[in-house]
Each structure stands twice: as C-alpha cells, then as structure tokens.
Amino acid sequence: MSAVDEILQSIPLDQLAGQLGVDPATAESATRSALPALLGGLQANAQDPAGAASLATALGQHNGDLVEGGVNLDQVNTGDGQKIVDNVFGASTPQVVQTLGNVSGGQSALMQKLLPLLAPIVMSYLAKRFAGAGGGALGSVLGDALGGAGGAGTGAGGLGGLLGGLLGGHLGGSGESPTTGAQSQSEAGSVLDVLGGLLGGGRR
C-alpha cells in the first residue's frame, strides 16, 4: 500500500469534509494532491544537512499516536500544522497552495485550510515509520541517520532514504498489487511534476 493510501485510510473523510465544507469525494481528491506535495517537500528539504537536522528535530516532537487506530481530527493542532507547512515550503508556500488549488480545479482556499490539517498527520505517520526503520528508539535511529557515515539524507536508514522510498520506486509497497501501486505512484508523480522547483523551498 502506498504512503498516500496508508495516510488516507487513517483519516475520517466525512469528518475532514465537514471541517473543509466540501463533500467527501472532493476532500479525498484534494488530500490525494496535498499528501505527495508535503512528502515531496520534506524529501527535498532533507537532501542537505541543515534541512535533515530540522526535519529530525520536528520528528522528535511528534509520535505515531495521532495516526494510531485512526486520526481524530479534533486532536490535530492546525497552528502546529501551519508552522510545518511554512517550514517545508518556505517562501514558496503561497505558490504551492495556488498550484495545488489549480490541480484540484481552482480550490486554492480549500488547500490553504487542508495543508495545515494534514501536516501534523504526515509528521505523525513519518515519526511512526522512522521509529521502526532501524528497529530502535526514534532518537537512536535519527542519530544514526544524521551522524552516520552515510550522511544526513543518504544512509540506509536515513531520512532521505525513508522519504525517497515513500515517494519513489517503492511508493506502492510490497503488499499492493502492481496496478494499484503504479496508479498511486503515477498520481503522486504527476503532482510532484506540476510543483517542480517549488518543493524544498523551506529550511534547508
């Protein structure tokens, strides 16, 4: 199953649609555009040591509890979410929102509300995944990723490796049919292609 599908499964779309003021189908479509953007922005920022260190600090402030057993959107701190969005996209945030809105059919206002809702969920998901990546405590795994010989983003258990796996050739995961995996990868890839150089505009 793809990272986007895993995260989507943990989100109650009816509740999300109610908070956004749209129908569940629109909420799901917008979320499918926004999630690859957030993951891609994090991956781009993790490509150099400063961005990887910033992401490591942020992951250390989150845990997997938010996504464990399904997300309760009432527990999502959108103030924290907006800070994450601003850190991920930096000065490019307005352009990212506008571009994602265009992808979703002129839904920029929707994206402006959606991204801060999704950002803490993405961080919780990544914290859970990253904590299990090396079979040890999050702090230990992050220490290896940031201080090991492989470098900040390129070590076997590194942040870049984890995010690259979620977005790249292994987006579909081993437990998913080739057709579904290819479709998820294609959807994510098309969003990333549209955003282009806007990703990674944050703290690097």
For residue 55, the model assigns a pLDDT of: 77
Q: Where are the domains of the chain?
A: 3-196
pLDDT along the chain (204 residues), means of 10: 85 96 94 88 76 77 88 95 91 89 84 96 86 47 35 41 48 39 56 67 58
For residue 37, the model assigns a pLDDT of: 87
For residue 164, the model assigns a pLDDT of: 52
For residue 196, the model assigns a pLDDT of: 66
For residue 105, the model assigns a pLDDT of: 76
Alpha-carbon distance of 1 to 170, in angstroms, equals: 10
Segment 100-134, tens digit of pLDDT: 888 777 789 999 999 999 999 999 988 887 766 54
Contact 190, 74 (CB under 8 A): no
Contact 130, 99 (CB under 8 A): no
Backbone dihedral angles phi then psi of residue 57, each to the nearest 5 degrees: -60, -45
Query: Percentage of residues in the chain with pLDDT exceeding 70?
Result: 64
